[in-house]
Amino acid sequence: PINSSKLNPRYKDTINDTWADIEVIKEKLRERISQREIASVVQAMGGAAGHWFKCSKGHHFYIGECGGAMQRGICIECKEVVGGSHHQLVSTSSHSDIDGSVSQLFQPMGMDPRHLN
């Protein structure tokens, strides 16, 4: 939104509406990444499935090595804290199935979803 104190009141709503429309268009463009592009990125990163995660806003990130979170970082899109420590994700991060996986690669002992009832 634009600072309304410097605008002619007559144009404030028009400018703010246009700004909101631009934000909607930007979001739609972000969503237009094709499945083929996603598959190319996942393949280029290599390794086993289960290394991809997302912040609570849905922005994806990759954890290498064993796939368990060992450090915190900042989402480059929304500046939210992502990752974790000691193989535990922060509450604002979660597993992503962008690579076709059903769970994260690293499973703490006793937490393998294939063995939970």
- Give per-residue pLDDT as tens, 70-114: 999 999 989 999 999 999 999 999 999 988 889 998 887 655 554
Round to whole Å and give the CA distance between 93 and 58. 9
Round to whole Å and give the CA distance between 114 and 56. 25
Note whether 109 and 60 are within 8 A (CB).
no
Q: What is the pLDDT of residue 6?
A: 66
Helix (H) or strand (E) holding 12: helix 9-31
Confidence of residue 116 (pLDDT cuts 50, 70, 90): very low
Q: Which comes out higher in pLDDT, residue 102 or 3? A: 102
What does each C-alpha distance from 59 to 46, 77, 99 come to in angstroms?
A: 20, 7, 14
pLDDT in tens, 5-47: 666 677 778 888 888 888 888 777 766 777 778 778 888 887 7
Round to whole Å and give the CA distance between 42 and 26. 23
